[in-house]
Amino acid sequence: MRLLTWNIQWGRGMDGRVDLARILRTIRELGDFDVVCLQEVAVNFPALPGSRGEDEVARLAEGLPGYTPVYGAATDVPAAGGGRSHFGNAIFCRLPVGQVWRHLLPWPVEMDQPSMQRVLVEAVVEADVGPLRVMTTHLEYYSQAQRFAQIEAVRRLHAEACVASARRPLPEEAGGAFEVFPRPAQALLCGDMNFPASAPERARILAPFADGAPGFRDAWTVRHPDEPHAPTVGIHPVGFVGQPECFDYVFVTEALAVRLKAHGIDAVTAASDHQPVWVELG
C-alpha cells in the first residue's frame, strides 16, 4: 500500500495561484498511490486568497478516477455569495473502504489566539497489508494548548477504536443503521500536525497507551533512525515559518511499522506551502 499525505493550502502555490490541476499533476508525478490524504481542501470558499469558490472535492475526485472520496469539513460557515463554505480534510482511496467517521476535535476558547475548528477524518481500508484505519488531520497552528487538547482527543479515539475492534455484532444489529462493521486496531495517522519534530506534542503522540492499545511509531524515525526529520515547510523563500521544519508526519502502529518499506518527501514542488509526504507498506 502506498499512501501520500499533503497539505495543499486549497491548491494555492507559492506563486499565489490556486491551481488544482497542478496539485493533481504533482501527485501523479510522485507515484502511483492507493490512498491520498489531503488537508486544507475547500468547497465554495471564495474568501480564501486566490480562490474562485471551487468545489475542490469534486475537482480532485474528477482527477482521481477510481478513488472513493471521503471529505470531512471542519469549518462550515455561510458563504459570502450564498450557500455554505466548507474547509477540511479529504481521503481519496482506490482500495475498498469500510466505515467512515468524521470527528470534530476540541476547540478550547482562547480570547487572545486566532484559531479554527479542526477535524479528524477516519476510514477503514482493506489493504494488502491487512485492514487498517487511515486517519488524517490538521492540528491547530497558533495554539500549543489547543494542539495538546486535540492530540488527547485523537489518542482517546484510537484507544476506543482498539476496544471496538474486539466487539462482535449482536443479532439486533444486523442490517440497517445499527449494523456493526469492522474497526481494526491497526492504524495510520497522518497530516499537518503544526509542530516541529523536537516538540513535546510529537512525544505525546508517541507515548504508550495505559490500556494496552497499540501505540504509534513515527514513520520517518522507523526508516531513518539516525537522521533528523527532513523539513516539510519553510523550504521555499516565502513561507509562513522562519526556517525549514518538519510539520507533516505519518505515524503507524507497531504491526504496520514492521511493514514500512519506504518513506519519502518531495522537497521540490512549490504547488503548496507544504511538501508532499509519502510512505509504502508491504
Confidence tier at 273 by pLDDT (50, 70, 90): very high
Confidence tier at 121 by pLDDT (50, 70, 90): very high
> Across residues 206-225, what is the average pLDDT?
96
> Across residues 262-281, what is the average pLDDT?
98
pLDDT at position 201, please? Answer: 98
> Across residues 222-236, what is the average pLDDT?
96
Confidence tier at 188 by pLDDT (50, 70, 90): very high
Q: End-to-end distance of the chain based on CA atoms, in angstroms? A: 6
> Across residues 143-149, what is the average pLDDT?
98
pLDDT digits (tens, 9 = 90+) for 48-88: 999 999 999 999 999 999 999 999 999 999 998 889 999 99
| pTM, entire model | 0.97
pLDDT at position 217, please? Answer: 98
pLDDT digits (tens, 9 = 90+) for 236-246: 976 788 899 99
List of domains in the chain: 2-169+180-281 (3.60.10.10)
Model confidence at 142: pLDDT above 80: yes
Confidence tier at 206 by pLDDT (50, 70, 90): very high
What is the β-pairing status of strands 2-7 and 277-281?
antiparallel
User: What is the separation of C-alpha 15 from the centre of its chain, rounded to a whole number of angstroms?
Assistant: 24
Model confidence at 191: pLDDT above 90: yes
> Across residues 89-107, what is the average pLDDT?
98
Model confidence at 102: pLDDT above 90: yes
